[in-house]
Amino acid sequence: MKKIFLCCAAGMSTSMVVNKMKQAAAQKGIETDIIAVSMDEFDATLPKYDCCLLGPQIKYKFEEFKKKAEAVGKPIAVINSMDYGMMRGDKILADALAMMQ
């Protein structure tokens, strides 16, 4: 089970990306737990998940969140803005899975 969380300003726009990622995982037969949370929920969610992807709109928080993620040994990255805008759930899922290897 791969546990991935996406974080954005309010957790709203990323929820659409989460649905696309879940569809891609189901098609590939990969067991996943993928959720979207707001920035306020980052600290509470981080220990429970394998990796974090930040929405492009909050990439300014990357360095701050990266320090927290590294402290607990979790990979973190900013979602490619083109993939995010095009809702490429398969590509974003592949990027997340690659981070966890």
Q: What is the pLDDT of residues 22-67, one digit of tens each?
A: 999 999 999 999 999 999 999 999 999 999 999 999 999 999 999 9
Going by pLDDT thresholds of 50, 70 and 90, the confidence category of residue 3 is very high
Whether residue 42 contacts residue 71, with contact meaning beta carbons closer than 8 Å, is answered with no
11 versus 45: which is more confidently predicted? 45
Q: Does this model's pTM top 0.85?
A: yes
> Tell me, what's the pLDDT at 11?
67
Whether residue 56 contacts residue 84, with contact meaning beta carbons closer than 8 Å, is answered with yes
Show which residues are catalytic.
8
CA angle (92, 73, 24) in 5-degree steps: 20
Whether residue 4 contacts residue 51, with contact meaning beta carbons closer than 8 Å, is answered with yes
Q: Which strand (E) or helix (H) includes residue 33? A: strand 32-38
